[in-house]
Homo-oligomer: A and B are copies of this chain.
Amino acid sequence: MPVVRRYSRQREAILTHLKGRCDHPSADQVYADLRETLPNLSLGTVYRNLNALSGSGDVLRFTVNGKEHFDGNITPHSHFICLNCGAILDIFDATQNKVKAQMEKELDCFVSGVQILVYGKCNACSK
């Protein structure tokens, strides 16, 4: 809604925090973790900024089991979700880019991005 985006310590902290971890936290996890260094950070602020950051493409978001997860790593990659333990693992390969290119050709319209969730049983749970 605002015409200009101003800097804020809170948004900076949220982005830095997300980029500094390798998992896929939900909004309340980000909130809980950041409260340790920013004791009066507000949950609404976390939501507002995660929305803003994903809107501008600075973080990724996706939903697993009805719960939103955020990812500070924006290099194209897919996610594996273990149906047994619930783990969310990164899959860094060319699939993302391949599918995007294929879809652009096939659909002949603007494609901003592709989200791929792979469901299965992780190696740890397969033993």
User: Which A residues between 76 and 113 are near B, CB-CB below 8 angstroms?
Assistant: 78, 80, 83, 91, 93, 95, 99-100, 102-103, 106-113
- This protein's copies in its complex: 2
Chain A contact residues, CB within 8 Å of chain B:
63, 66, 68, 78, 80, 83, 91, 93, 95, 99-100, 102-103, 106-123, 126
Are B116 and A120 in contact, with the CB atoms below 8 A? no
Chain B residues with Cβ below 8 Å from A103 are 78, 80, 91, 95, 118, 120
A100 to B111, CA, bound (A): 21
A110-B120 CB under 8 A given contacts A102-B95, A103-B91: yes
Query: Which residues in B have their C-beta under 8 angstroms from that of A66?
Result: 63, 68
